[in-house]
Structure 1
Amino acid sequence: MKTLLNIIWVVLSGFWLFLGYMLAAAAMFILIVTIPWGIAAARIGLYALWPFGKEVVDKPTAGIGSVLGNVVWVVLAGWWLALGHILSGVALFITIIGIPFGWANFKMVPVALLPLGKQIVDG
């Protein structure tokens, strides 16, 4: 069932969200100082491509560095990636079959805004 949900997800919104995250990752990799944020963007982008069967949990070793890094992330890329999830979620709510995928998009908004200090695990 997870595979079927992921395939529908990729067709409806996952591919475009993945491209947005990879664009953010590429921009972060170009600026050498922001490489850690590029790694986070690529990690979350892969999660946005194939999310069902995985979950986001807090990393127990995250500290003040994650908090400060998330502030920088929100300014650089987090707000527009979160906006992409919100717009995609609203669009998916137009159809009955899209409602669960719209909820999945809304559940990804917090991790799009604050990815540092989070970990993606099999769920």
Structure 2
Amino acid sequence: MRTILNIIWLVFAGFWLAVGYAVAGVICCILIITIPFGIASFRIANYVLWPFGREVVKRPTAGVISGIGNVIWFIVAGWWLAIGHIITSIPLFISIIGIPMGWANLKLIPISMTPLGREIVTTHEPFAS
């Protein structure tokens, strides 16, 4: 089931979201001081491609620097990304087949708001949250 949902997600939403996050990552890596944000953008792009069967957890070794970086990220981009994910999930919830896609879109909100100090892990739940 996860594979089918991931393929549908990839075709209808995941590819374009991943391209957007990857472009943001490239721009952040070009501007040398924002390289940590670029790496975080690439991590999000990876997660966006195949979200079902994976989840985001806080890395226990994340320190104060990750927290400060997350505050900067949230102010500059995080809340805009969260609003975008909420707005794009609403039409997905209208159709029966779109409900899992809407949940996947909402599942992206925590990592899009605070990406530093997090890692992506595999889960055995079919609709991992």
Output the TM-score relative to the length of structure 1: 0.91
What displacement does 1:13 show?
Answer: 1.5
Note if 1:22 corresponds to 2:22. Answer: yes
What displacement does 1:87 show?
Answer: 2.1
Q: Which one is further off, 74-83 or 92-101? A: 74-83
Residue correspondences, number: 123
What displacement does 1:78 show?
Answer: 2.0
Percent of matched pairs sharing the same residue: 59
Across the aligned residues of Structure 1 and Structure 2, the Cα RMSD in angstroms comes to: 1.3
Does structure 2 retain, via aligned residues, the 8 Å contact 1:24–1:77?
A: no
Deviations 1:4-30 (A, max 9, x none): 110011122112211221122122112
Distance (Å, rounded) in 2 between the aligned partners of 1:30 and 1:81: 21
SS in 2 for 1:41: helix
Distance (Å, rounded) in 1 between the aligned partners of 2:110 and 2:69: 15
Distance (Å, rounded) in 1 between the aligned partners of 2:111 and 2:74: 11
Unaligned runs of 5+ in 1: none
Unaligned runs of 5+ in 2: 124-129
Which structure features the higher share of helix residues? Answer: 1
Output the TM-score relative to the length of structure 2: 0.88
What displacement does 1:111 show?
Answer: 1.0
One-letter amino acid matched to 1:71: V
Distance (Å, rounded) in 1 between the aligned partners of 2:76 and 2:27: 10
Distance (Å, rounded) in 2 between the aligned partners of 1:122 and 1:56: 9
One-letter amino acid matched to 2:34: T
Deviations 1:68-123 (A, max 9, x none): 00011123332332233212211211211101210121121011000111110111
